[in-house]
Each structure stands twice: as structure tokens, then as C-alpha cells.
Amino acid sequence: MFALQPEMKIFSGSANRELAQRICNYIGVPLGQATISAFPDGETYVKIEENIRGRDVFIIQPTCPPTNDHLMELLIMVDAARRASADRITAVIPFFGYARQDRKDKPRVPITAKLIANLLVAAGVHRVLTMDLHAQQVQGFFDIPVDHLYSMPVLIKYLRQKLTRQTVIVSPDVGGLKMASAYSQALGAGLAIVAKQRKSATETEALYVIGEVEGCDILLADDLTETAGTLTSAATILKKHGALDIYAAVAHAVLVDVAIPRLQKSEIKELVTTNSIPVRRIEGFPVEVQCVSELLGEGMKRIHNDESVSSLFKIDNDKG
């Protein structure tokens, strides 16, 4: 006789409950009841309010700002689920904070992304589902399965309607060239790159453009923007090289305070992103948010049913 599939249970931290609810609506499973609060001294309190013994538990929590608070909340929820005898615990992390700290680029610095992987496994996570990691090698920091999805198929549907003239996909730095190349192939567009120099943690300077952009619309493609320094400085130099309308597409729009005036004053016409984290609205500057609940929900369904997730990586190149 075949063993019955454990019942699926989905819980959400406080980082992005709206996305968690949309995922649940797509899957057709109610969002689990859990109490998450803070003690007067700031310590996090979690109580799962329903029976999860022997269940297949998914905990949705992007580790976006305040990063440390959301990370601790996730770890505590995982520990609560493990101690409540969950059969399997999958951490669904639409945005993986600390992914940029993936190597020792200076003496005596940590590899924090590896530390976070160790913490998640130690807490009791059996599997991770994430999206658009800043550095793909972070998958290798885990000794458990990691399913890495891409938001590009979701963003492409909108961008095909928006980009109607001759378009060039531009990587705003050398590290994003692979992603820009994938956008270029999917949209049948040209490819260029902006070389940059980082002045500080919040400032970058665009140095020169490699590729032909004159007389073309531009799509700046990147995995995330935080201060918007890389995007806005790239847009400035692209305009000087004769670019027409400039759009930006990023998977994760973290958008700290310094990013708001930069985008408002920039040459960028519109920012297209996802709801992997709650997105700030910017007065006088259009931000188009595409929902990734179906993408993540489909990944969760396939993990629960022990089906292949790899087909979700494919991009439909049909422009019709």
C-alpha cells in the first residue's frame, strides 16, 4: 500500500503576509494560524495555533528590511514547527537577504550567506524555495535541497507589451551580464553593458557603455535595487549616448530612503518589479509591480507532490 501524502500547511511570517495570502489563494489551501508578536524587550514570540504533527509545512518569509528581525522570526517559526513534529519544513524565502555577502572580498570579513544557510539548517529546515538569488552559488552553501526560481518569465509578459520599439537590454554592471543576456534572448533585443565603479556602499559611478544604444529604448535588467545608485547612474550615461525611453526591471525592489529622490530625479521612465517584498510607492514615479504568487505557489505545489520544479525555470520565447 502507498503511504498517504502528508497534509500541506502554509504559514507566514510578518514580512509579506499579502503575498502569502495570494499564494494560498492560488494553491487552494488556507493560510495557517500562527501568533507572532514581540515581548517588551524586543524578543520575538511565536506560537503555531493549529496541529501540524506529521504535516508538510511551508513557511513564507522574505528576509527583507528589517532583515535581522525577519530572519530571526523565520528561524523561530521553523524551530516551533520542528518541535511541533512537522513531517517536513520548507522555508519559502522569496527574497534572500545577505545573499550579497557570498565571498571574502577583503581580509577578515565573514561569508554571511553561508552563515545564514547554516542557521536555517540548524533550526530544522529540510528544503528551501527562493527566487532570484544575487549570487547563484549561495545554493551550494546549503546541504539540503534548494529550488531557485526566476521572476523573469513573470516580468517578460508585461515587458513584451511595454517595449514596442527597437530595444536594447543593458546590464548596469558586469555581474548582471548573464541575466541581461537572458532578457535579451527572451525579448529578441540587443545587448549592452555599463561599466561602473563603486565609490561607497550607497554611491556608484557609471564609467562607459559597451554596445550600441543610440536611438533605442533601453531596459536596465538587474536582480535587485536598494539605493538605486547603479540604475540611475547607468540611465544618466545611457541618455548621453543617445538612448530614448529607459525602463528598469528588477526582481527585488528593496528601495531604502536614499533611493526615492534618486529615482524621482532620474532618466528612468518606469521601474518594473515583483511583490517578493512589500514595494514602496514613489510619488511622481511609476512603479509597476508584477505578482509572483502563481510562480511560488506552483513551486510549492510541486515540492509537496514530489514533482519536478525545473520546468518552472523555462521561459516562453513566443512573442505572440
Four-CA torsion 98, 58, 15, 76, nearest 10 degrees: -70
Give the cell for residue 218.
533601453
- Asked if residue 193 lies in contact with residue 170, where contact means CB atoms within 8 angstroms, the answer is yes
Q: How many angstroms separate the Cα of 235 from the Cα of each of 192, 222, 239?
A: 13, 13, 6
Closest CA to 27 of 285, 275, 303: 303
Listed in sequence order, the residues at least 6 apart from 217 whose beta carbon sits closer than 8 Å to its beta carbon are 163, 165, 166, 167, 168, 243, 244, 245, 246, 247
Listed in sequence order, the residues at least 6 apart from 192 whose beta carbon sits closer than 8 Å to its beta carbon are 168, 169, 170, 171, 209, 210, 211, 212, 213
- Specify the DSSP class assigned to residue 33: P
Q: Side-chain half-sphere of 124: how many Cα atoms within 13 Å?
A: 19
Four-CA torsion 204, 210, 216, 218, nearest 10 degrees: -40
- Asked if residue 198 lies in contact with residue 173, where contact means CB atoms within 8 angstroms, the answer is no
- Asked if residue 102 lies in contact with residue 111, where contact means CB atoms within 8 angstroms, the answer is yes
Question: Under DSSP, is residue 280 helix (H, G, I), strand (E, B) or coil?
Answer: coil
- Residues facing residue 131 across a β-bridge: 149
Catalytic option among 47, 196, 269, 319: 196
Q: Is 114 a catalytic residue?
A: no
Q: How many angstroms separate the Cα of 180 from the Cα of each of 187, 207, 293?
A: 11, 18, 23
Residues with a catalytic annotation lie at: 196
